[in-house]
Structure 1
């Protein structure tokens, strides 16, 4: 039975009410279905993983490609999908609002807007502009019914500005501007995580874990509400492909193929 977008959105909001859950990031319809099959309660797209799946670099896809991807994943599973919507695919708040309206129509249960510009010389939007962009996203969601969960992201740590005070200032401003959840990819230490959680409480915080890091239980003890893994699952998939392909190309042997996931199990899962 197909679950409606309204019900998915209600379920997604409920997940943010207490505890901590894993929000893994599929990169295509198949990986989305596999994660749902494993029992995850919600999933999130990954800009990097999707870009690599269509032969592009991260942040080099256009809004139409992303909207098609979000529609496909949302229709493929009966669990909530959160959209990595990058910077809203526009600079001005009006453009962000227009694209967020289109994203809501794909059936996603949540979406995130980040404050990075893509310009290494000036990596973050000016604070007032960044806040206005979150406000615009909030207004677009509210105009469409208001049930899509909005995550405000501060990208400072990922762009060489590991200034925790700056991050907290921005996240609290994004919360006041209407973000339902806050996210600062790149924070890692217990002290950083705890400081962010306390600063934006009672609103929930998303924590990115890309390799070794805190366990689910440890993150929950710090007050984190959800954990995402970004492009890590996609990187794992590409690791297997590249190992096997390099062996074939460079050695003319095929031993790596023996470590592949059983085809019969995949057919059973997708049947």
Structure 2
């Protein structure tokens, strides 16, 4: 498939009640492993890509290094690739679109695009976030790519008290509607794990809904019944792999005395 075909195929994988499962990767090697395990598409996690190169999360990895990672993955793998692009490295619509264009040049067919103020406080106002989405959509349209903009709201991620998540659902739904009207392709609500709240958002959203797996989250089959269309694993795979590496290395050094 060429890039435009990959983009269409990736979008088609997002089916309400039959979610595409994305076990997040961080480089070309992990892309190969996940592909061989049966993946239908690939997605990076920002935390994992940054950590694998010695950086913290929150756009601390240089943009050029992130784009180079995407290019390395697409150079050796034919599956559609979505890149976790945080805040697109720009608070301005034109800058965000220009930066996303570099990912398209690297072969990516989608991004996660979050509404929190990276390195700051709170979330971007809805009008500012929708303007950035519109610019990204217009840029991608001009390139003939059905680019998948997975619009992420961090309302739930930024509220550590899960008992308060119910009070954020209406605002999340309104943000999702605004993002859809601006050209978003999907709606990502990380850190939400309450089944009833997930079902409510899925029922209200015109966009395919993405849930991130974490301790306490429903399993994939349950999420499917709730209407979820995409399930991702965020930094979980990287953290699990690093723990295994540390354990193996510790055993070697312990045996060596």
Normalization by structure 1: what TM-score? 0.86
Higher Cα radius of gyration: 1
Deviations 1:106-162 (A, max 9, x none): 111211211111245x22112211111111111121122132111111011112274
Deviations 1:56-78 (A, max 9, x none): 11121121111111111122211
Match of 1:114 in 2: 114
For structure 1, which segment, 155-164 or 44-53, has the greater mean C-alpha deviation from structure 2 after superposition? Answer: 155-164
For structure 1, which segment, 34-43 or 135-144, has the greater mean C-alpha deviation from structure 2 after superposition? Answer: 135-144
1:254 positional shift? 6.3
Distance 1:198 1:215, change over 3 A: same
**SS of the residue 1:156 aligns to:** coil
Match of 1:30 in 2: 29
**SS of the residue 2:150 aligns to:** strand
CA distance in 1, matches of 2:19, 2:78: 21
User: Where do 5+ consecutive residues of structure 1 fail to align?
Assistant: 256-271
Contact 1:20–1:224, Cα closer than 8 Å, also in 2:
yes
Contact 1:104–1:144, Cα closer than 8 Å, also in 2:
no
Measured on the aligned residues, the alpha-carbon RMSD in Å equals 1.9
1:213 positional shift? 2.4
For structure 1, which segment, 15-24 or 122-131, has the greater mean C-alpha deviation from structure 2 after superposition? Answer: 15-24
For structure 1, which segment, 223-232 or 109-118, has the greater mean C-alpha deviation from structure 2 after superposition? Answer: 109-118
Deviations 1:169-199 (A, max 9, x none): 1111101111011111111111111111112
Normalization by structure 2: what TM-score? 0.90
Deviations 1:199-232 (A, max 9, x none): 213x211110024522221111111011000111
**SS of the residue 2:72 aligns to:** helix
